Structure 1
């Protein structure tokens, strides 16, 4: 809804100077106005003035009319001064999501339960998306049946579909997934390799109205440009050598559903121009054909690189970034959600035991602690591989520290000095790998980032067995959870 006195926003103009931020607010408005009553959202400017609120949130505030942009604590909280501490203020200050000390929002008259920053094209927090606790208003509406079984789950559970986690970072991801699922806008998933971007894309699809239509995945970085264009848009017979028959493209195959473009940053500028036209016009042109075909496809893309940095480096089209990043979602690395590791370990352990027809096994407390303290540069996928390898190569009812010996991700169990020394080495190795990835495999730039000499970096690479072949493509593990 547009509340009285609030400026209207559009991708080209709106309450903010930054076009990317205006586009994100507009996309949130389009989807939030059609969400169930239990989802009550407000968008705030840096001075805590309300830029937008959906109908349930405004009803919760008693629908006060105002002739000027309203301050959130005046309208929603009915106060003359803001609540302290305020999650929205904290989110503006830190650039990170913030929650009420009491998850129910009971400490705040306005009922704020969580605040999530909305970033501008310069990665600055210029607005905040606020979630209100529905119990502060007209009551909590039941969760609607979306026809996907128990995929949504209940509030407080530690999974959403196949995604697992109870950490604050993952609860925020779950909430954003629910928020964006019913939108038709494009979604950009960003995060390190192995954080589960494909699984998040699949969950968004399964929660959406397109859930009964195809979900098509393509790894843009694994195909040469000519073949990628043919795979996505199709081709007609004789379009190129070897095209003995016409072929439908994946966009056409996904008509009515969702297409997931993984590693979108690895595409060429020429291909990006063609993809931009598809997103703008909603139509494709098969290779070798002069006719265009209309398609209705929701696009979810993913990258383990910072696309804004790629735009600044002229390696990615700015206009395509704006189209893809209407609804951006960042996935946390495993080291930032360590409290989820025991959940993931038990899940992967049970899954591996079933797959390899073994009785269900357990992990000793010492081994679980070692797993929780490991650096995990390959994130969730690396953890899954470590657990499966241990299940296959060992016996007995429990997995102990010795069952993980030789796996580079884990510090060994033992005396404190040994553990500390090993943890320091693993942390140093992980930082070197991260620097190489940030530098695109350029060792000179990596040494600069690490603030060491090039000779020292070469010695470290030899010491830790990091070969050129590992940079930068093999630094991470495949993206899925």
Structure 2
């Protein structure tokens, strides 16, 4: 039986519709509820696995009455047509809980494009009788335990949802955008996607976009030819080539400059790279996963990140929650980090008292999982005895930091940093390249700080 994903029409050219349909796919694919998307001609653009009956024959460009009502001719007047005929309609419900239509439609909702026009609709159907439900084949979930998914740990609802989404996107070749605060484990999630994909035996290449100047970043990613610039004494393969048939992970993509973003967009659109100083383009076959600790959608609105690149990167968006959004997972993480730290430092396995565990759960953890991991390791190394208790960790146990002190500290750092940037620009007569070199930061970082501090 063909896979339902192969029946989906190519996503519409409109970026808003594209993003909305991708979001619906992410939410609906793992549900037992029947969900489908149709265009204005009632062609099936997308339908989740639950939408199909056990006897349905799936084919591309199928009409809704063929796919769900098993008819060769159109139905009579469909109540869902109101979604397209009346722009003010926000929802259409079928009387009798969906019994009034041959397809079993219950509700239909409009999907508007960039111009506000209704170009598609999402439809919810009534459940199928058990005799018509398609059996779902069992598959490898990538979990060795109920609280594990690859190297990710969690039992909270938000993490279970993330695990489900990760399973769905792993074998795809589409670009993935991972967003989340620093320390939430974005690179670990990227590695998990790669490990679960059919590219698992090919390279996984990591690029820290925020730590490299624009010119060096371009050379690292695309390669260069001999003589392209001073110091280019031999031809050099770029990281896109190194990741051939594998995965390239572009970390902190928000820290790149507009010029580099334009070049990366061309690579993603054309599927080929041109080494710095070269004249011939090379086809690339690496999957792109990018990550950012900033909200790219907000950066697009602020016109500091290219909208067209954002839509190219965010075909399959994933969000890693902050640790404070999944506090029920903290005991699992603590026990895992304690065991790993004890093994690494040749210590007997330590136990964590209930009081200490409560303190761990209540702490703010602004550095998220990474901060928790480092804190546990420090506690294991600097204490003795079979138990970890609050008094052994810090005086008075782990307590939330005073918000006013944190704010004052951040403000002092910001003022000092702004003053140093202004001074560097004065010394270099406004030359940003020289100023970045003087400050020992990348030009991309300098540009971000100039925008953040409002320095003209």
What TM-score does the superposition give when structure 1 sets the normalisation length?
A: 0.67
Alignment RMSD, CA only?
4.5
Partner residue, 1:259: 248
Is 1:42 the equivalent of 2:35?
yes
1:457 aligns with none
User: How big is each residue's C-alpha offset from its partner over 1:95-150, in whole Å with a ceiling of 9 and x where there is no partner?
Assistant: xxxxxxxxxxxxxxxxxxxxxxx99999xxx99899999996636534235xxxx7
1:64 pairs, out of 30, 45, 69, with 69
Kept in 1: contact 2:22–2:316 (CA 8 A) = no
Q: Does 1:395 align with 2:400?
A: no
Relative to structure 1, the CA distance from residue 177 to residue 307 in structure 2 (aligned partners, 3 Å threshold; closer, same or farther) is same
1:359 maps to 348
1:318 aligned onto 2:304: no
Task: State the number of aligned residues.
Answer: 376
In structure 2, relative to structure 1, the CA distance for the partners of 1:347 and 1:371 (3 Å cut) is same
Of residues 303, 310, 313, the one that matches 2:292 is 303
Equivalent residue, structure 1, for 2:85: none
Whether 1:138 and 2:143 are equivalent positions in the alignment is: no
Distance 1:242 1:158, change over 3 A: same
1:24/1:438 CA distance change after superposition, 3 Å: farther
Superposed CA deviations along residues 187-235 of structure 1, whole A, max 9, x for unmatched, are 1111111111111111111111211111111110011111111111111
Q: Does 1:12 align with 2:17?
A: no
Task: Flag the 1:310–1:223 CA change in 2: closer, same or farther, 3 A.
Answer: same
Q: Secondary structure at the match of 2:138?
A: coil
Q: Determine whether 1:208 maps to 2:197.
A: yes
Match of 1:151 in 2: 142
Pick which of 309-318 and 357-366 moved more: 309-318
Distance 1:355 1:323, change over 3 A: same
Q: CA deviation at 1:431?
A: 7.2
Distance 1:132 1:199 in 2: 39
Q: Is the 8 A contact 1:364 1:398 kept in 2?
A: yes
Change in Cα spacing, 1:340 to 1:318, as seen in structure 2 (3 Å) is same
1:192 paired residue number: 181
2:437 counterpart residue number: none
Q: Which residue of structure 2 aligns with residue 250 of structure 1?
A: 239
TM-score between the two structures when normalised by the length of structure 2? 0.70
Distance 1:427 1:361 in 2: 32
Preserved CA contact (<8 Å) 1:375 1:427: no
Q: CA, structure 1 residues 227+132, in 2 after alignment: closer, same or farther (shift >3 Å)? A: farther
Distance in 1 (alpha carbons) for counterparts of 2:346 and 2:113: 50
The answer as to 2:46 corresponding to 1:52 is: yes
Q: Name which of 194, 210, 235 aligns with 1:221.
A: 210
Contact kept in structure 2, 1:230 and 1:286, CA below 8 Å? yes
2:255, 2:227 → 1: CA distance?
Answer: 28
Which runs of no fewer than 5 residues in structure 1 stay unpaired? Answer: 14-18, 93-117, 407-411, 414-418, 444-471, 474-481
Deviation at 1:42, TM superposition (A): 2.6
- CA 1:209–1:395 in 2, change beyond 3 Å: closer, same or farther? same
Alpha carbons 1:219, 1:263 under 8 Å: kept: yes
Residue in structure 2 matching 1:234, options 217, 223, 232: 223
Change (3 A) 1:175 1:238: same
Separation in 2, partners of 1:189, 1:119: 25
Over alpha carbons, which structure has the higher Rg?
Answer: 2
What residue is the counterpart of 1:106 in the other structure? none
What secondary structure sits across from 1:271 in the alignment? helix
Cα distance in 2 for partners of 1:27, 1:217 equals 26
Deviations 1:260-304 (A, max 9, x none): 100000001111111011100111111111111101111110111
Q: CA deviation at 1:185?
A: 1.1
After the TM superposition, which residues 59-458 of structure 1 pair with which residues of structure 2 at under 5 Å, given as runs?
Answer: 59=53, 63-65=68-70, 67=75, 68=78, 69=80, 138=133, 140-145=135-140, 151-153=142-144, 157-405=146-394, 412-413=396-397, 423=400, 425-426=401-402
Task: Please give the per-residue CA displacement for 1:313-371, whole angstroms capped at 9, x wherever unaligned.
Answer: 22111111110111111111000100000000000110111111111111110010000
